[in-house]
Chains A and B, each alone.
Chain A
Amino acid sequence: MKSRSLWSDAWIRLQKNKLATGSLFLVGFILFSCFLLRWVLPHDPNDADISMKYLPVGVDGHLLGTDQLGRDLLARMLDGGQISLLVALLATTLTVVVGVIYGSVAGYVGGRVQSVMMRVVDGLLALPFLVIVILMREMISGWIEVMGGFLVDQWGWNSDLVLRFSNIIPLIFAIAAFGWLTMGRIVCTQAANLAKMEYVEAARSLGLGYWVILFRHIVPNLMGTVIIYATLTIPSFILYEATLSFIGMGIEPPNASWGMLIKDGANLIETQPALLFFPALLFSLTLFGFNFLGDGLRDALDPKSAKD
């Protein structure tokens, strides 16, 4: 009989979980719509026509109607989703890189180094989230502005493009600056457990170096935990981005994001409930998808914790 790897085993278990497979398709479809389908839509998300405002669903080719400036709601939702998802995915990538390096070093070295490194994490977690994210964003914005100015002046980059990104990049770094802490802590616990395993001891007695053991034997075995937690980090970062945009500290016009669309909708809820309903629905479906997928991955990759 052919033996199966941990990953193909997990894949089979995941396929048996209907909720998780459904979520996988949902997430895939939303990513496909926001990043590919958006470019073939007939309407431009920033095409404002005040005489066409508040069109109801399905009129004049506007599938979900139009907003207060006559812009196509569906196009804006997908365009906003692109930015919301981009922010969440890139911030999660940063979180994984920083969290895995920090956590695995702390957990593998152990002893006093580990407890000092984890106290630092505990300390940073005692900071109020909004204060630190807004401070970081402000600080990084300053640097990015200088860099953007240089790119436009010296290298002749398109200033609109630079402006678009000089709003998004500080937000990504600010969210990741606070977000890697939990990842670091989870990885550290796991790495500390792995460091005590016999196979690590065997590797050590074979005379392998510190870094080789860390990156060849410990980090690959952490990947299950990391993937589970990264999948659950994405929806929480989408939520952070939306919260920050909602309070005016995140994405700024002309960029759109789900947080901004929901904010606009919430202001018009009494007269135009559809403007809140559709963006909020897409937003919540995305979070549902990622969360159920993460739960399913946990059950598939770590059957002991599934408890059934």
Chain B
Amino acid sequence: MYKAILSRILQTLIVVFTLVSVCFLIVHALPGNPFTGERAMDDVVIQRMEASFGLDKPVLVQLGLYWKNLLLHGDMGASMNFKGVPVSSILGQSFPVSFQLGIVAMLMGCGIGMPLGIVAALYRNKWPDYLSMVVAMMGICLPSFVVGPLLQLYVAKPMPMLNIAGWMQAQDVLLPALTLGFGVAAYVARLMRGGMLEVLNQDYIRTARAKGVKTLDILLKHALRPAITPTVTFLGPAFAAVMTGSFVVETIFGVPGMGQHFVDAVTAKDLFLIVGLVLFYGILMGLANLAVDIILMFLNPRLRA
């Protein structure tokens, strides 16, 4: 088991290393950099700026320097667009915001999605099933840029304690988290229903029912643990994705999170910020998938070989 985990970590590191290097090269292959943008700068100034970020050296030397600084000094370089602010401090400022938002969104998503899925499976092909599956489908078909403005207009505006947008008070997390969590809830409900249906057909559930075990006890003690497997597999990567913020939700609700940088950095061709984000996201994805593997081993003893 430890060997499997160790080899998984090693694989993740190799993948992240390759991805970051490839991104570094792709960004270099694009024409222009933040200094050759709209504002016309003096050629000498541009050259000096480029030199200060090492852009005058050959590409592969730059890549080597990036890895050397990162691995030896933990230095992720500086943002070119934000006038030399270190990438690590940009991530350090925005990640906690996205993290808070992400946690609340995931809690809401699971809190809405799991009961919906379980109820749907219990009442298969009856109206509670159809109702919850239509709600789940709405979560997939109504994009966040429709749900967000609707929540602002019909929930935040009539309620004085909710701000329409902003990130000042504790309750500001609610509406953006609901917008994000709605989509998650939809997938959770569908996966939970599928997992539950598969388990409820098993012989041991029929045995438990024949013995006269109460439905709630069957659900909680016998069915839930195996039925949750597909949901857990989905939640891992989803958690990593939600925690790193969503550009759309952050823009609509004015949340100073990480999502905005994913778009802004690429549009500005802010080399070090882009590769920093790819590095961070890749590691987070790897950790999430590792966590999924460990949780699945805990849920299903047969996987603990």
Contact = CB atoms under 8 A, between A and B. Distances in A.
B55 interface: no
B266 A131 contact: yes
A288 B244 contact: no
Interface of A is mostly: helix
A30 to B, nearest CB: 13
Given A126-B15, A242-B143, A269-B153, 8 more contacts: A126-B285, A128-B244, A130-B266, A131-B262, A242-B145, A247-B248, A249-B263, A307-B198
A123 interface: yes
B169 interface: no
19 contacts: A126-B16, A126-B19, A131-B262, A131-B274, A131-B281, A134-B263, A135-B30, A139-B26, A242-B143, A247-B247, A263-B145, A269-B150, A280-B142, A287-B140, A291-B137, A291-B141, A292-B137, A307-B198, A308-B125
Interface of B is mostly: helix
Interface string A240-268: 00110011010000000001001100100
Contacts of A49: none
Nearest to A137: B266
B29 A139 contact: yes
Interface residues of A, number: 39
Interface string A260-296: 0011001001100100100010011001100110000
Contact of B197 (A122, A126, A291, A307): A307
Contacts of B198: 307
B88 interface: no
B102 interface: no
A131 B201 contact: no
Contacts of A270: 153
B34 interface: no
A127 B267 CA distance: 17
Interface residues of B, number: 48
B23 interface: yes
A128 B141 contact: no
Contacts, number: 109
A292 B190 CA distance: 13
A263 B146 CA distance: 9
A135 B146 contact: no
Contact of A280 (B16, B26, B146, B281): B146
B68 interface: no
Nearest to B252: A266
A16 interface: no
B86 interface: no
Contacts of B153: 269-270, 273
A127 B19 contact: yes
A284 B251 contact: no
Contacts of B252: 266
A48 interface: no
Contacts of B201: 307
User: Which 7 A-B residue pairs are closest in the complex by CB-CB distance?
Assistant: A287-B141, A123-B15, A126-B285, A266-B149, A134-B266, A280-B146, A128-B281
